[in-house]
Structure 1
Amino acid sequence: MTASPHIVVIGSGLAGYGVVRELRKLAPDARLTLVTRDDGHFYSKPALSTALAKGKVADTLVTTPAEKMAAQLRLDLRAGREVEAIDREDKAVLTTGGPIFYDKLVLALGADPVRPPIDGDAAHRALAVNNLDNYREFRAILPEGARVLVMGGGLVGTEFANDLSATGYCPVVVDMLSHPLAQLVPAGVGSAIREALAAKGVEWHLGRKVLAIHKSGTGIRAELDGGETIEAAAVLSAVGLRPHLQLAADAGLDVARGIVVDQTGRTSDPHIFAIGDCAQYPQGLAAYVTPIMAAARAIAPSVLGTPMEIRFPPLSVQVKTTACPVVLLPAPQGVEGAWEETANDEKGLKYLFRDRRGSVRGYVFTQDYCQERMNMDRALSEQTTGLAA
């Protein structure tokens, strides 16, 4: 009788727990071990950028405590363990609690906040809110109604600015690009978002970069490259995330922008898979909830010896800006084309991204037009299936 395989998963975010759930469905007798440097509680990371307006503290963001996750999934949970290295020859994960041997290994390492080079004696106060502990620390340093410097006007920075302004704080957003969400949406939509949030009290400094952050009597004083200074009580850094690669690179796995995987989620080592923010699929990086769940459903059978290709649905995103609701499907990386405005009226804005052949490959809808998201996703999914056939 063949012994049940021992599958080790590193990471307790949506990707890690998502693949464990799928593995447990398919293999009731498999030995599953999850290693995490965190406490292992399950929560929604996207909820961090809307938690203030919902009156949430860190503990109330936890949807399932670690002990309950371990019991439900019949899981050996090794929480509070740092993974120091992967020994591929002996198939062992080397942790601060000792080695853990595996038959198959799944890397769900997530992404790390980008730390831009900033001068000044308070540069270390720029806090990136990327997990529960970060959020707990952020809440602790936030005086009621304070001015908050938000570095970054991308998805996370804009969502936090919306959340802060809706809760009585005064966010000041600094971004090097010309409009909010500049890497995702055309200028017309960016202007609409900027104006809607400005009406709620958000102050924008676009086309600017923070050079230095100094201590001051009110908290901090930031110097911008245009000569402006900003006084604030706290600093939130939201300049982006970078896939966590070091562990995989040190183990000799192929890495590029992420840990390189094939269409089944397998890395350059046939016994190791990667999923989520750390993985670079053949289509590129694919963060967000929808691709993670799609990948988990395919990677689980692949890990268990039945290779299954990951099939991503249209990876549309809801931007959590209540002041200006937005849904979007980003234009595919490396595809030439242009944004076309198809509606601009009292219902909101509609933009379509068309490639050089005229095919719709992305979209941005605002306000009432957000209701058309499901129909558009369905149509694009059918179009993709037709092209593949």
Structure 2
Amino acid sequence: MTGTPHIVVVGSGLAGYGVLRELRKLAPDARLTLVTQDDGHFYSKPALSTALAKGKVAETLITTPAEKMAAQLKLDLRAGRIVEAIDPQDKAVLTTGGPIFYDKLVLALGADPVRPPIDGDAAHRALAVNNLDNYREFREALPDSARVLVMGGGLVGTEFANDLSASGYQPVVVDMLGHPLAQLVPPGVGDMIRDALLEKGVEWHLGRKVLAIHKSESGIRAELDNGMAIDAAAVLSAVGLRPHIQLAQDAGLEVARGIKVDQTGRTSDPDIYAIGDCAEYPQGLAAYVTPIMAAARAIAPSALGTPTDIRFPPLSVQVKTTAYPVVLLPAPMGVEGQWQEIANDERGIKYHYLDAAGAIRGYVFTKDYCQERMDMDRALSEQITGVAA
């Protein structure tokens, strides 16, 4: 690659802007173009599930307007452009505003909300809050102190239930599994989260499924698989996210659950990289803030011609449930093991996830034990790398 490279980034979330920041640090003269179907404002997506209790409207969640980001990073910002296809042969991104040619391309496409099959004439009202526009629409549709049906009791659904209850709304959570955060925490912790939120006014229907959503005087009426009906003013869909892989797949890139990348973030095409929620790293999907920043620090030099391995620290997560504080490191995908209770007292609960050899591979801490997160992450980081953090 001779002269100044032209690097095109698709997507203006944390992953897209994260890699652009790193690129600009390393290459003050590189041509950088950002293509986004949104307006390009920078904001924290994790803040969406705590915004109600903080009294935030969509505009106050914007941390840096698009124009300022473009000026700071010396970007050619193409906002409001939908990418219709990628042409790897001609090295072009085909957008609704015409083709954009690249030397290197970084896909930061994010993930799309899973839409479960639901019957009824109001099924389309189930709103997934996955960006600023969704949040604006959801908030504007919400009467004060309304009942809100939350479909899904995973991380996002539970955080929204906490936020809604702390803001004077009445959340009703329906989830097919037996306890909140069932894919992340053992039942003992899930039950404590459920009970703490129950005290705050959250209604739970666990082991249940929404079959249909109908229009009604109150807004909607949801029909559950046990024949029960739930009336609410609005419906929030939090049943999960699916990495956005269609563009990459259509372009002939290798995909599985996400867009497959190597340890440097490179896809099966040597001139195309993927980062964030859309990427499937050798370790699997890694959709939180910490891995995005770690990946950006490696993908930027790699795209500029110096292949650099992504080094992920332990990817622990703080669950934003103020009613019952939880931090956790999810058990790694495909690692056989089991949860072991280490402590359960007035300070909270501690669990370790032990693999077949008895090594700690994940953990869940609650309440006062959350303070041990940094020490545990440091110890696990040393265990992985053999180097003191």
Q: Once the two structures are superposed, what CA deviation does each residue of 1:262-307 show, in whole Å capped at 9, x if it has no partner?
A: 0000000000000000000000000010000000000000000000
1:207 is matched with: 207
Q: How far 1:239 moved relative to its partner?
A: 0.1
Matched, 1:361 2:361: yes
Q: How far 1:3 moved relative to its partner?
A: 2.0
2:111 is matched with: 111
Matched, 1:20 2:9: no
Distance of 1:17 and 1:256 partners within structure 2: 25
1:40 is matched with: 40
Distance of 2:331 and 2:139 partners within structure 1: 35
Q: What is the CA RMSD across the aligned residues, in angstroms?
A: 1.1
Distance of 1:180 and 1:290 partners within structure 2: 23
Distance of 2:86 and 2:6 partners within structure 1: 15
Q: Once the two structures are superposed, what CA deviation does each residue of 1:181-217 show, in whole Å capped at 9, x if it has no partner?
A: 0000000000000000000000000000000000000
Runs of 5+ unmatched residues, structure 1 = none
Distance of 2:192 and 2:206 partners within structure 1: 14
1:196 is matched with: 196
Q: How far 1:226 moved relative to its partner?
A: 1.1
Matched, 1:98 2:112: no
- In structure 1, give the amino acid aligned to 2:80: G
Distance of 1:113 and 1:256 partners within structure 2: 17
Distance of 2:294 and 2:252 partners within structure 1: 27
Q: How far 1:311 moved relative to its partner?
A: 0.5
Q: How far 1:2 moved relative to its partner?
A: 4.0
Distance of 1:318 and 1:72 partners within structure 2: 30
Distance of 2:84 and 2:176 partners within structure 1: 36
Distance of 2:203 and 2:10 partners within structure 1: 40
Runs of 5+ unmatched residues, structure 2 = none
Matched, 1:244 2:244: yes
1:72 is matched with: 72
1:321 is matched with: 321
Q: Once the two structures are superposed, what CA deviation does each residue of 1:303-336 show, in whole Å capped at 9, x if it has no partner?
A: 0000000000000000000000000000000001
1:219 is matched with: 219
Q: How far 1:66 moved relative to its partner?
A: 0.1
1:149 is matched with: 149
**Which 4+ residue blocks in structure 1 deviate beyond 2 angstroms?**
none
Secondary structure in 2 matching 1:353 = strand
Distance of 1:273 and 1:338 partners within structure 2: 35
Q: How far 1:381 moved relative to its partner?
A: 0.5
Secondary structure in 2 matching 1:318 = strand
- In structure 2, give the amino acid aligned to 1:242: R
Distance of 1:84 and 1:168 partners within structure 2: 42
1:335 is matched with: 335
- In structure 1, give the amino acid aligned to 2:339: W
1:352 is matched with: 352
- In structure 1, give the amino acid aligned to 2:184: L
Matched, 1:372 2:372: yes
Q: Once the two structures are superposed, what CA deviation does each residue of 1:109-128 show, in whole Å capped at 9, x if it has no partner?
A: 00000000000000000000
Q: Which runs of structure 2 are paired with 1:80-95 in the superposition (5 Å)? A: 80-95=80-95
1:258 is matched with: 258
2:384 is matched with: 384
Q: Which runs of structure 2 are paired with 1:225-304 in the superposition (5 Å)? A: 225-304=225-304
Identical residues among aligned pairs (%): 85
Secondary structure in 2 matching 1:298 = helix
Secondary structure in 2 matching 1:93 = strand
Matched, 1:61 2:61: yes
Distance of 2:365 and 2:228 partners within structure 1: 34
Matched, 1:170 2:161: no
Q: Once the two structures are superposed, what CA deviation does each residue of 1:214-255 show, in whole Å capped at 9, x if it has no partner?
A: 000000000000111100000000000000000000000000
Distance of 1:15 and 1:133 partners within structure 2: 18
Q: How far 1:385 moved relative to its partner?
A: 1.4
Matched, 1:50 2:29: no
